[in-house]
């Protein structure tokens, strides 16, 4: 079975440009989350979407936005790129919200998109 | 979110047991303790989770202190493939996100 897929794998942009990153969750998973991982640090939560609705947002500026499509795939958009946006962007899917009826739903991560802003 | 403290790095030898500690003294009574690991050039992957009692699965064991202020992830026989950054993550009821700290970078020597 295919795991979480992300595209592109690598991307180079210049300051001020915008970028769109894509994620396809595991088949049957309805929840997608986005994380940013700066070199040498743990991933930081950006967004969670469940059933096409935003369910959580991390401490990121409004330049970051996301959406989820009817097939549960997702896009992360970043406008007006800054040098500090250079990072590995990770997408994770789970079958339901993270804690559904008290049961934990394991999150499955994709390999990430490496974004470099010059 | 409960604060966690983990050693920055640890080193062990192949086929030996590894004990990875985590302090989470501010954990609440309903927080589960989750462990994820991140292999080089990959996204994090789930390892194990527990609430109060010790837990075992095919990957590892999780030993939780009686006061729940600390836990230990146990790899019974480390392999080279276990070299990764290991993250201890308390998660409260209704949480919608994983809060990663710095984690412990585990090196396995052949």
Could you report the per-residue pLDDT of B33-62, keeping only the tens digit for each?
A: 999 999 999 999 999 999 988 999 999 999
Q: Where are the beta strands (DSSP E) in B1-110?
A: 9-13, 18-23, 32-38, 45-50, 55-56, 61-64, 70-75, 84-91, 104-109
- The three-state secondary structure class of B72 is strand
Q: How much of chain A, in percent, has pLDDT values that exceed 70? A: 92
| Cβ-contact A109, A90 below 8 angstroms | yes
In sequence order, the 6+-apart residues with CB closer than 8 A to the CB of A83 are A15, A117, A118
pLDDT on residue A99:
54
Residues in chain B: 110
Residue A103 has pLDDT above 70, yes or no: no
Q: Spell out which residues of chain A touch residue B32, defining contact as CB-CB under 8 Å.
A: 104
Average pLDDT for residues A23-46, to the nearest whole number?
95
pLDDT on residue A97:
58
**Biggest CA pair distance of chain B:** 42
pLDDT on residue A102:
47
pLDDT on residue B29:
83
Tracing tokens 């202020």 back to the chain, one arrives at B69
Residue A100 has pLDDT above 60, yes or no: no
Residue A15 has pLDDT above 90, yes or no: yes
As beta bridge partners, residue B53 has none
Q: Residue B46's closest CA among B69, B31, B62? A: B62
Q: Considering only CB atoms, which residues of chain A are within 8 Å of chain B?
A: 4, 33, 35, 41-45, 48, 55-56, 58, 90, 92, 97-99, 102, 104, 106-112
Where would I find the H helices in chain A? none
- Judged by CB atoms closer than 8 Å, whether chains meet at A112 and B43 is answered as yes
Question: Which stretch of A2-6, A94-98, A110-114 has the lowest confidence by average pLDDT?
Answer: A94-98
In sequence order, the 6+-apart residues with CB closer than 8 A to the CB of B43 are A4, A90, A92, A109, A110, A111, A112
| Cβ-contact B60, B73 below 8 angstroms | yes
| Cβ-contact B10, B18 below 8 angstroms | yes
Average pLDDT for residues B58-84, to the nearest whole number?
95
Average pLDDT for residues B64-87, to the nearest whole number?
96
Mutate one of A42, A48, A100, A109 to test the B interface: name it (highest B CB count within 10 A): A42
């Amino acid at each position: 079975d295919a795991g979480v897929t992300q595209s592109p794998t690598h991307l180079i942009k210049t300051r001020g440009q915008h970028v769109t990153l894509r994620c396809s969750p595991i088949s049957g998973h309805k929840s997608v989350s986005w994380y940013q991982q700066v070199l040498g640090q743990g991933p930081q939560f950006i967004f969670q979407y469940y059933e096409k609705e935003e369910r959580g947002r991390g401490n990121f500026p409004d330049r970051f936005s996301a959406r989820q499509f009817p097939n549960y795939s997702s896009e992360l958009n970043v406008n007006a790129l800054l040098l500090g946006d250079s990072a590995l962007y990770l997408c994770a899917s789970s079958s339901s919200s993270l804690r559904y009826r008290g049961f934990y739903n394991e999150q499955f991560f994709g390999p990430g998109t490496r974004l470099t802003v010059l | 979110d409960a604060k966690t403290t983990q050693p920055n790095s640890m080193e062990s030898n192949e086929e030996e047991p590894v004990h990875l500690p985590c302090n989470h003294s501010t954990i609440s009574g309903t927080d589960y303790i989750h462990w994820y690991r991140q292999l080089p050039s990959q996204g994090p992957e789930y390892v194990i989770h527990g609430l109060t009692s010790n837990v075992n699965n095919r990957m590892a064991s999780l030993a939780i202190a009686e006061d729940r202020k600390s836990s230990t992830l146990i790899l019974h026989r480390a392999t080279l493939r276990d070299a990764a950054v290991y993250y201890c993550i308390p998660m409260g009821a209704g949480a919608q996100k994983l809060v990663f700290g710095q984690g412990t970078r585990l090196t396995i020597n052949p």
